[in-house]
Structure 1
Amino acid sequence: VKYYGNHFWLMYEAEKLIAFVDGFVTDEPDLTDEMYEKATLHDETGAWQMIFGVNTIPAYRQHGYAGELICRAIEDARKQGRKGLVLTCKDRLVHYYAKFGFTDEGVSEKSTHGNAVWHQMRLTF
């Protein structure tokens, strides 16, 4: 929050945080593991909005809350004049992010975060 607090999208039910999307901005076109570890890499004037996390409390899933936040992140990035957004996801979620206009660029060579296989996805304006 200290470095890229303006790039958290939060959803509450009353006082309870039920979902959020976050990620910083950079001129780097690809999402790397180093980005998760070094928030200081955030550059408010960067071209690309990275998405590091899409999170919803389990009891609130399957209601479209995360989707609403993703749409807001896309809208904000567009208004801010970014080139687009980049995220990584597991194979089972490629189709989910495609619904928002993200294109699968294949398995990421720059992110193995958590020793997992990640697909890099990009939405270019």
Structure 2
Amino acid sequence: NPNGAWQMIFGLNTLPEYRNRGVGGKLIGAFIDLAREEKRKGVILTCKKEKIPYYAKFGFVNEGESESDHGGAKWYQMRLEL
């Protein structure tokens, strides 16, 4: 729903040649800023277990395993309330 209360993100993937340059962080920051501008309640994203600490640095809280089984993988839902 483009007008929903929450900005939803199903993962974020940066091309290998752009990793460790802050590109992912800038994208997450832009999503957060956009959610604020659009007066949303916050941002919800799904990620794999190894990325939980990365997103936690931006204030996201791990809510546990997601119901998604996309690609046969185990996903975790994280939420940032604004």
Q: What TM-score does the superposition give when structure 2 sets the normalisation length?
A: 0.93
Larger mean CA deviation between 75-84 and 51-60 belongs to 51-60
Q: How does 1:60-71 map to 2 (within 5 A)?
A: 60-71=18-29
Matched, 1:58 2:31: no
Matched, 1:119 2:79: no
Unaligned runs of 5+ in 1: 1-42
Counterpart residue identity of residue 46, structure 1: G
Counterparts of 1:99 and 1:73, CA distance in 2:
15
Moved over 6 A (4+): none
Aligned to 2:32: 74
Work out which of the two has the higher radius of gyration on C-alpha atoms and give 1 or 2: 1
Deviations 1:72-112 (A, max 9, x none): 1101101100011111111110000001110000111x211
Compute the RMSD of aligned alpha carbons.
1.0
Unaligned runs of 5+ in 2: none
Deviations 1:18-62 (A, max 9, x none): xxxxxxxxxxxxxxxxxxxxxxxxx22210111123122211111
Q: Which structure has more strand as a fraction of its residues? A: 1
Q: What TM-score does the superposition give when structure 1 sets the normalisation length?
A: 0.63
- SS of the aligned residue for 1:55 comes to coil
Identical aligned pairs, as a percentage?
Answer: 56
Counterparts of 2:24 and 2:73, CA distance in 1:
22
Task: State how many pairs are aligned.
Answer: 82
